Structure 1
Amino acid sequence: MGKFYKLKQKNNRFWVGAAVGSGMAAHAAEAAGADFVLALGAGKMRSMGIPSPASLLPIYDAVDLTLDFAAKELVPRVNLPVYVGLPLFDPRLEVEALLERLDTLKLNGVTNFPAVFHFGKRAEILEAHGLGYRREINFLAAAKAKGLETIGYVRNRDEANRMAAAGITTLCINFGLNPHSRDKSINDETLDRLALAAKEIVDSVRKPKKNLKIYLGGGPITGGAKLDKLCRKAGIEGFIGGSALDRAPLEKSLVNSVASFREIEVLQNRVERLERRLRQYGKRYDLVCLADAMDRMLDQVEAVISDGSHLILKGETATGRHKVAKMAVVRSIQKTNGKRWKLDLSKPQLSSDDFFGKSRSPGVRRRVGILELANESDILTLVGVEHLQEEDQNRIAEVILSGKYCCNGSDLERHSGARIVLILGNENILEQQLAQNLRLIAKEKAIEVPPLRDRIEDIPMLVKNMISEMTDEPRELPPSIIRILIRHNWPGNLNELRQAVKWLVEEKDTSFNQSRLIEHLSADTRTVGSMKISQRDRVVKALLLNNLSRTKTAEYLGITRKTLYNRIKKYDILT
């Protein structure tokens, strides 16, 4: 049956399958580094502007439609394995004739999508008439006997075990269809519930069948850090994405592109403005923000700027908090025409006197603080407040809440209308290095600059920018290297990424050995340990590395189980 692909498991390899509905989407998936593509009726529906659930309705001949576009649009145009998903609950379907037809189309494999369980309780009716899950299992077993690769979609332990017992060695856990709105985020509690459900399925089939390959597909998980967390917890080796890979990114791209062209009507200098927008694609205020997490954070910052309120930024070390703060200050000054002031209280030569001022006393000269110098149109950036005494931190909290303050050594109440940009570190908040009032304000009003592991969509552009800064001879990194960088956890955030890019730039071996890069990143992660990483992050990372085992995690951290339980409770870690 033409060129036959056999997917082989490699160490540390995470497989990505793209469920597509057009040759254009398959082409893009191949260019991005997908391992295989699936031709699905649901994908074809999406490409026609129809929601995926329409693939369950009897509005067209699903088998003919899916096989037709798979054979004409995918097989001739991509060099990847092509699987086809077929609705096997069609009563007109003749299994033997279908298998013979598949063999002539040069397809590499088949799967049971949409599966009968997508009908919910109505699946019992189909099962009673011989058109249910048993038929899907028998069909996949027959397809495998004919030499086709197979992927069995499952949703619980029973279905997974039935598939494995029939000899199906690749499974895909499916928690339903993707949410239509990409803005619907999943909370940690739901994520943990899904991870436990997936792990239960994985453990039930992998113990007796060690050579099984298990993917995740569909449901509320659409990618990014949450997908990584779930897969690590459950021991899943890959992801099959449909809407998450084609509809959502395409809709966002088209909305942005069409909107930019519609704006031409109302722009005075149309050509210059459009060129400027195209040059800045993927950036806002010179900040890379292809990731939704970064985009949402900048939306929140803009809202604070427009409101004229104080801005409080928090985040891990090296996430770019200071660059975001600088952007916010520049934007605010453009509106107010005021002055910029900055005070880094971590410097030993500075104290609260530089902020509040100090009154005259015998033998001590009057000292004017920046609160007195700044007027209502000015912006004050504060860094390192955790180095102040608790009383001074609470006084800063009072300035943020009411604008009221007193100079050091004076009881005369003053008022400041200047706006404050306060930069905090997550480790200062979590390890309670802040006074209570300031900690409460941070908890209520602080905007978090996302860590690099939550904005993996930005990594390719960040890498490109860093390379251009380091060398006059730009180098294009191959997709395999970019995938390794995306999969890394980046505890050191942008600093660690910069170190890794520097290593790649200085690497003389232009073939970019993947195993050497993985080894380098592992070694570099150990050196990053000298950076300020919060104790909570260390506990979370240790739990994930040890598959949520409390005993192994305690041994890994060098602490007792009781201490580990206390830290889990203290930092409110949901596992």
Structure 2
Amino acid sequence: MLTTELNAGFLIGAAIGSGSNARAVEHGGADFLLAINAGRLRNMGVPSIASMLPVLDANSLTEGFAREELLALCRKPVLLGVNVWGRTFNPEAQAAAIGEAGFAGAVNFPSCMHYSRPMQQILSRAGRGIEQEVELLKAVQDAGMMSMFYCSSRTQARLAADAGLDLVCLNIGWNVGGAMGHRSRSTIEEVAIEAREIGRLIKRISPKTRFLLEGGPIAAPEDLSRVLSLAPLDGYVGGSTIDRLPLEASVASMIDGFRRASMRPTRLDDESLGLVNWAKQFGFVGQSEVQLMMLRRLRALSSANDPVLIVAEPGQNSLPAVRALGAIKARSRSLNMVQIDVAEQDLPARARNVLFGRRDSSSARPPILTDPTVELVVIRAPERLTQALQRRLARALRDGVFRMAGSRRMLKIEPRIVLQCDVQVQEDTVVEDLLGAGLEPELVSHMAGWTLRLPPLRERISDLAVLIETEAEGGHLEFSSGALQRLQAHDWPENEAELHTVLGRLAGRSSRLPVQADELEPLLRSAPNNDRRQKTRSERDLIVDILWRNGFNRTKAAEALGISRKTLYNKIMKYGLSG
């Protein structure tokens, strides 16, 4: 027997279908390779289950690629997949041919075990059943080679153990996961219980036989680890988990990486690079075109001392912009800033007293607008101030001075004033949207030339990757290609705050595999007030945006828009978007 060539510890077998994959698994430390027709078919883009269909002769298909690609490239033992369904059945002659070809042994694949019990009985009566598979592998083993027997039941395992075969692998069905995966009918715990019972049976009959496991819900190393905590095993054989799933994930991820690389500028010009570096000191992340446009305007506004109105949607991080606007006033590395959130004030009068002072002259605290020790005053939600107070604020900002109630003396505004409205506005309808949000026309008019709109996350999706890298720094979060596409297609109604929440919920995942798209579905929220936002955008712009987010897949775009594919096609033609 050649089992002495295998290590005495835990065995890893790999059922693969190409020379390139063979080299990879050998480099990764696999103990032996299986050359089976399912592996070859997987590499041809066909589901593994096609190995049981009469599409190609299994023996000739397997031996052909195994000779040319595996034996010629690999030093590890290669077991040839064989079946007993030929016109004649001569175990000794077949075993001799396997040895002469240079294989280390054989494995029963394709096997009767994948068929239903009635079909297995018919094949056994015809002399082409499980019993003949065991007989063939026993002949291979008697010829001084290695044998591995696939089984799916206690009865089949007992046959192999009675024959004293080298390796017995419990196959628990086709692998789940990936583009061509199957649905699991068993949980990890159920698999472990079955493996424990069959393993004990085999060891009682043939202690030297090594017991392995393959298939079903075991799709990742973590799954195998859970089984091992419940059932002793001598090894694991990977088919789709080694040959198909990693290939699908890695190639898709690489393609998506190239696509994402093309979406972001590979090299910024000197002006843009300087702008990005300037913005980093305040906490900005990203270099999308809309982000750069906003930063250019912000840098210009930051060099002045005039009041500025920041417009940001709920969930956007406005603090970097506030820091930039206060930089010119800062007398030290730490900015002396006071924030007044009108939405949190108990009464409008309280905000008025804080800003403009009280009639009671006994108050030791001066109005915040006149405090020379304060460098920046941020007034959040000014639209919630009373109309009269908004008009008073507009006039004070216009004149730079104001008169406190009960006094004739004019007081000078000392700090720089930043107003912040957390409302949803569009670039071409900022004035109308601010008026609709409750800002007084006089205040909107005065701030018209000094308004800074922060682009929401949905408008700078090309910054998403670097935002994730920054947010998840140290968390080692990786996303599959499908997951990244799902994140890019999301509308992000709560902007960076929602991204922060999603990444936080993914932190501490038990799996080390990349995050999959289906994991994101319960974490991503639908956009609130979506109808209102869509009305503020032209239908053409909305369609272009949704098409871009969904990779110009018309079916997905139609679903996102809530219309039929035919209706979407008509609108594409209407707006001349077919090119």
TM range (shorter): 0.3 to 0.5
Higher Rg: 2
TM-score, with normalisation over the residues of structure 1? Answer: 0.48
